[in-house]
């Protein structure tokens, strides 16, 4: 009986292919939209997590603005970290340097290149690996040496991959390249302005060249990620004692930033998914409408079935199965279209967002939920027309022309 009911539902759908397709359109669009939006959200979340993993989620970023005439000396900050070595690990002042970057006698400026003064432990803290030469060391800091470590982009484009021992001009000063970092970006054409387009110099040299006596930014490593909150509190309390104020500094936890950004992405995805799900509701209304038309068109058929002994539940199941089958077919087409659009969106995003890789990945859960809701809506909205068909008076139905 179930097989015959399903077979007849397929025949009725096939006999009105174009009308059925238009009826399924809302379901198709709804399922596709839910898949793509959830996939985009997952891709963004994964990309953000990868970016933060490269920077290190166990790093604390400290900004010291000072309070009035009071400021925090580099020596004082190092002492604060050393006093709490059971929680806090390595520390590095971070000093952004301004000025144009020129390679040799090349007249072209590397305007996207970032130059930063750091300590000898920063490269390891930030997850960089030396590909050629050596990293910065304590002697470079102590002697204010004009040496630097450059990213793969500078070495490859400016020196043809042979940057060790060469000179590079930053602002008015010339620096000797002692190390080259391993590339972080796979595509060489997309390295400009990325984490491969960096120059690191000793922070003491950066302070001298920039004419400043202290650093306003620090990176602090917390070896145990479970102690992130504790480490943050220690630094905040220490800076408050040094500045006698709680408004002259800011301590940012990358793990907290990651959680916040992930929550924001999830919230946006939830809202967009709810909006996309409205298409499923519209599709359900379309199915109810077409089933009402189908009942009207098949009134005489229903009367004949009842005259031959068909029970109400048989007529009811006939139309409910047809409505559920229609929405299920729409869901299957929507899944196929969702995968196609997801793959296309991944390629488009790769062209648009060169510095960030986002892969639109539809999840099995989102597909199952979208398909289940589409079938459920079809059955739900098909029940009312089916109930109307089942309750028709057979004599009046036979007289219907």
141-159, pLDDT tens digit by residue?
999 999 999 988 888 888 8
Mean pLDDT of the chain, nearest integer: 81
Mean pLDDT for 214-221 is 89
Using DSSP bridges, classify how beta strands 114-118 and 95-97 pair: parallel, antiparallel or unpaired. antiparallel
Per-residue pLDDT, 125: 85
Query: What global pTM score does this model have?
Result: 0.60
Dmax (CA) of the chain: 106
Helix (H) or strand (E) holding 317: helix 312-352
Mean pLDDT for 182-196 is 67
Per-residue pLDDT, 287: 78
Per-residue pLDDT, 181: 92
Q: Which are the contacts of 191, defined by CB distance < 8 A and separation ≥ 6?
A: 151, 152, 153, 156, 183, 185, 197
Question: How far is residue 372's CA from residue 380's CA, in Å, rounded to a whole number?
Answer: 12
Q: Which are the contacts of 237, defined by CB distance < 8 A and separation ≥ 6?
A: none
* C-alpha distances in Å from residue 86, one per residue of 83, 98, 224: 8, 36, 10
Range name among 5-19, 141-155, 237-251 with the lowest pLDDT average = 5-19
Q: Which residue has the tokens 């029940």?
A: 383
Q: Which residue has the tokens 């539940």?
A: 313
Per-residue pLDDT, 140: 92
Per-residue pLDDT, 161: 85
pLDDT in tens, 268-301: 878 877 777 777 777 777 877 777 777 777 777 7
- Residue 107 pLDDT > 70: no
Please give the share of the chain, as a percent, with pLDDT higher than 90: 16
Range name among 79-93, 137-151, 180-194 with the lowest pLDDT average = 180-194
Per-residue pLDDT, 206: 92
- 242 close to 72: Cβ distance less than 8 angstroms: yes
Per-residue pLDDT, 193: 55
Mean pLDDT for 107-136 is 86
- 202 close to 136: Cβ distance less than 8 angstroms: yes
The structure tokens listed for 195 are: 């984490």
Per-residue pLDDT, 401: 57
Mean pLDDT for 181-198 is 71
The structure tokens listed for 18 are: 């174009």
Per-residue pLDDT, 79: 92
Q: What are phi and psi of 101, to 5 degrees?
A: -110, 125
Helix (H) or strand (E) holding 274: helix 254-297
Mean pLDDT for 198-217 is 90
Residue 105 CB neighbour total at 10 angstroms: 6
Per-residue pLDDT, 223: 84
């Amino acid at each position: 009986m179930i097989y015959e009911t399903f077979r007849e539902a397929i025949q009725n759908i096939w006999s009105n292919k174009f009308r059925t397709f238009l009826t399924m359109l809302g379901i198709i669009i709804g399922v596709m939209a839910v898949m793509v939006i959830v996939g985009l959200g997952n891709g963004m979340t994964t990309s953000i997590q990868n970016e933060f993993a490269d920077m290190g989620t166990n790093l604390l970023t400290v900004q010291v603005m000072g309070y009035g005439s009071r400021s925090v000396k580099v020596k004082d900050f190092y002492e604060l970290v050393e006093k709490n070595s059971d929680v806090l690990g390595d520390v590095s002042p971070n000093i952004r340097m301004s000025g144009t970057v020129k390679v040799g006698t090349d007249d072209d400026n590397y305007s996207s290149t970032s130059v930063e003064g750091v300590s000898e432990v920063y490269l390891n803290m930030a997850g960089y690996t030396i590909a050629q030469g050596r990293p910065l060391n304590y002697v470079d800091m102590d002697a204010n040496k004009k040496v630097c470590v450059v990213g793969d982009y500078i070495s490859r484009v400016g020196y043809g991959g042979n940057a060790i021992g060469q000179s590079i001009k930053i602002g008015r000063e010339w620096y000797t390249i002692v190390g080259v970092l391993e590339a972080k970006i796979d595509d060489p054409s997309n390295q400009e302005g990325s984490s491969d387009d960096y120059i690191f110099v000793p922070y003491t040299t950066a302070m001298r060249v920039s004419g400043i006596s202290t650093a306003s930014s620090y990176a602090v490593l917390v070896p145990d990620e479970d102690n992130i909150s504790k480490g943050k509190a220690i630094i905040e309390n220490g800076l408050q004692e040094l500045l006698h104020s709680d408004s002259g500094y800011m301590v940012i936890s990358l793990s907290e930033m990651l959680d916040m950004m992930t929550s924001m992405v999830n919230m946006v995805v939830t809202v967009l998914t709810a909006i996309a799900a409205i298409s499923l509701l519209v599709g359900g209304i379309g199915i109810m409408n077409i089933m009402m038309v189908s009942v009207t068109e098949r009134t005489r058929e229903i009367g004949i079935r009842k005259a031959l002994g068909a029970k109400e539940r048989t007529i009811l199941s006939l139309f409910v199965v047809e409505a559920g089958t229609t929405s299920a077919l729409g869901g299957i087409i929507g899944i196929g279209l969702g995968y196609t659009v997801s793959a296309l969106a991944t390629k488009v995003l790769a062209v648009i967002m060169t510095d960030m890789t986002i892969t639109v990945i539809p999840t099995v859960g989102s597909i199952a939920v979208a398909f289940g809701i589409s079938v459920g809506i079809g059955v739900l909205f098909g029940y009312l027309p089916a109930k109307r068909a089942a309750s028709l008076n057979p004599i009046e139905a036979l007289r219907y022309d």
